[in-house]
Amino acid sequence: MLKRLSLLVVVLLLIAGSAYAQDASNIDCMGSEGSTLSIMASWAGEEEETFRSIIGPLLEACNITLSYEGTRDMNTLLPTRVEGGNPPDVAIFANPGALKSFADNLVPLTDLGVNADSYSESWQTLGTANGNWLGLPLKTDVKSLVWYSPVAFEAAGYEVPTTWDEFVALMDQMVADGGPAPLAMGFESGGATGWTATDFVQDILLRTQGADYTNGLATGETAWNDQGVIDAWTTYVDWVNKYNVGGADNATTTPFADAILMPFQDPPQAWMVKQSGFAGSAVIQPNFPDYVYGEDFAFFVLPGQGEEAPPMQVSGDILGVFNNTPATQALVAYLSSAEGATAWAASGFDLTPSSAVDMSAYENPISADKAATLAEASGVSYDVGDLVSPAVGQAEFDGITAAVGGGDVTEILNNIQSLMEQNMEATPEASG
C-alpha cells in the first residue's frame, strides 16, 4: 500500500512544482556543448521523469544528450561495469555507504566545479572517503519528526514540547490522563522489521550522545556495546513497554504504516507517532483526504536536551562521478548551484540538502516545513543502518526486535559489535 501511495504523491507533487521556470542564462556549460552524459540511477517511471525535468534546463542550455539507465539492480550491474572499465559518467546511489564502496574509482567533487558553499560540513562529511569529498547529496528526507494532531492537542490542553524533558513529561501526563497511548510504535515490516525502531534509537542517541558519537557506529569509532548505546536501546525498550499502544507485543506485530495512522483515526489510538517526513504526504493525507495539514495533522522535531536545535537524522540519494568530462563538470556545477537546488525544490522530489535553495520554491506546505526544519538543524546524521554492511544492518533490525521482545540488550549489542568487527576486518576500506 505504501509504495502505491508514494507514487501517487510523486505525481501530485510533479503537478504542483511544474510552475517553476528555470533561468538558463545562469547555467555554466563548462565547454560541454554538444556532448553526451551517461547517468545510472535506480529511479524509474515518475521518479525518472521528475529527475529529467530537474536537469532538463542544463541539457537544453548546453545541448547535452542524456543517456539515462534506470535499474533496480545497481548493486550487481554497477560493479560489473566498473570492473569492466565501462562505468557510467555518473551514478546516483541510495546512500553514502554504497557510494563509498567505489571510493577508489570516483572523481573528487572539488575537481568538478562543485559549489562547496552550498553544503554544510556535515553534509560534505557524509560523502567523504579517503580524504576526498566524493558524494554530492541530492535528495533527502528527514527522519527526526513526531507527527500529531494540533486539533486534538488543543482540545486536550497539551502543548508541543520544546525540550527532551518536556517530551518525556508530556508522555507521562498522557499516561496519567488515561486516554490514548502517547506513542504508536509499531514497526513490523516483513524482512526489514525493526527499521523504524532503529531510527528511533538513533534519534535517542543523537540527543543523548551527539552526532559524532552516533555516526561513529558506522565507522567503528563507537562500539555498539558502549554504555551510551546500551542506555539508548534500554530507553527505547522501556518506552515501548510504557508508552506504546498495546506495549511490546503490539510493537513487533503492528505494521509501521498502520502505526502512522493511529493518532489520526476516530477515535485515535495514540497521541503521536515518530516517523520520517514521508508519512505526511504518502500515508496520512491519502488515508484522510479531508484533513488539513497544520490543523488535523502536523509534525514537530523530536526535541533535544539543550537550547540548540538537535542534529537531524536523514536519508537520501547521493551522486558520484566516475569520469571527469565537461558534461559531468557542468552537471555537478548546476546541481550544486542555487538554480539547480531551486529546481529540485520546485519539482516536489523531496528535499534538497543545498543551503542555496530558494525556499519559496517548495510549493507543498509539508515539504516547505520539512525544509525549514532541516535548515535549522545543527547538523545531519545519516541512517546508520544504511552505512554499515547489510549483515550488520540486518543484525541491528533483528536485535532491536529481540530486545523489545525481552532479549538482553547488552548481549544483543555484544553480538552486533562482534559482527561489526568481523566485517571491518574483511573490508577495512568501509571505515573510510
HEC string for the chain: CHHHHHHHHHHHHHHHHCCCCCCHHHCCCCCCCCCEEEEEECCCHHHHHHHHHHHHHHHHHHCCEEEEEECCCHHHHHHHHHHCCCCCCEEEECCHHHHHCCHHHCCCHHHCCCCHHHCCHHHHHHCEECCEECCEEEEEEECCEEEECHHHHHHHCCCCCCCHHHHHHHHHHHHHHCCCEEECCCCECHHHCCHHHHHHHHHHHHHHCCHHHHHHHHHCCCCCCCHHHHHHHHHHHHHHHHHECCHHHHHHHCEHHHHHHHHHCCCCCEEEEECCCHHHHHHHHHHCCCCCECCCEEEEECCCCCCCCCCEEEEEEEEEECCCCHHHHHHHHHHCCHHHHHHHHHHCCCECCCCCCCHHHCCCHHHHHHHHHHHHCCCEEECHHHCCCHHHHHHHHHHHHHHHCCCCHHHHHHHHHHHHHHHHHHCHHHHC
CATH no., domain 145-312: 3.40.190.10
User: What pLDDT does 111 receive?
Assistant: 97
Mean pLDDT of the chain: 92
Q: Which CATH class, in words, describes the domain spanning 2-141+316-378?
A: alpha beta
| Domain chopping of the chain, boundaries | 2-141+316-378, 145-312
pLDDT digits (tens, 9 = 90+) for 381-426: 999 998 998 999 999 999 999 999 999 999 999 999 999 999 887 7
The mean per-residue pLDDT over the stretch 215-242 comes to 97
C-alpha cell at 55: 536537469
User: What pLDDT is attached to residue 308?
Assistant: 82
Is 432's pLDDT higher than 50? no
Q: 39 phi and psi, to 5 degrees?
A: -130, 135
The model's pTM? 0.90
Q: Which pLDDT belongs to residue 354?
A: 96
Identify which of 153, 121, 149, 158 has the alpha carbon closest to the alpha carbon of residue 137.
121
Q: What percent of the chain has pLDDT over 70?
A: 93
**Residue type at position 266:** D
Q: Which residue has the cell 529527475?
A: 51
Residue 212 or residue 23, greater confidence? 212
Minimum mean pLDDT among 23-27, 81-85, 99-103, 360-364: which range? 23-27
Mean pLDDT value across residues 303-316:
90
Q: How far is CA 282 from CA 214, 359, 366, in A?
A: 28, 22, 11
Q: Do the beta carbons of residue 352 and residue 140 sit within 8 Å?
A: yes
pLDDT value, residue 307? 77
Do the domains 145-312 and 2-141+316-378 match in fold? yes
pLDDT tens for 246-274 read 999 999 999 999 999 999 999 999 999 99
pLDDT in tens, 72-119: 999 999 999 999 999 999 999 999 999 999 999 999 999 999 999 999
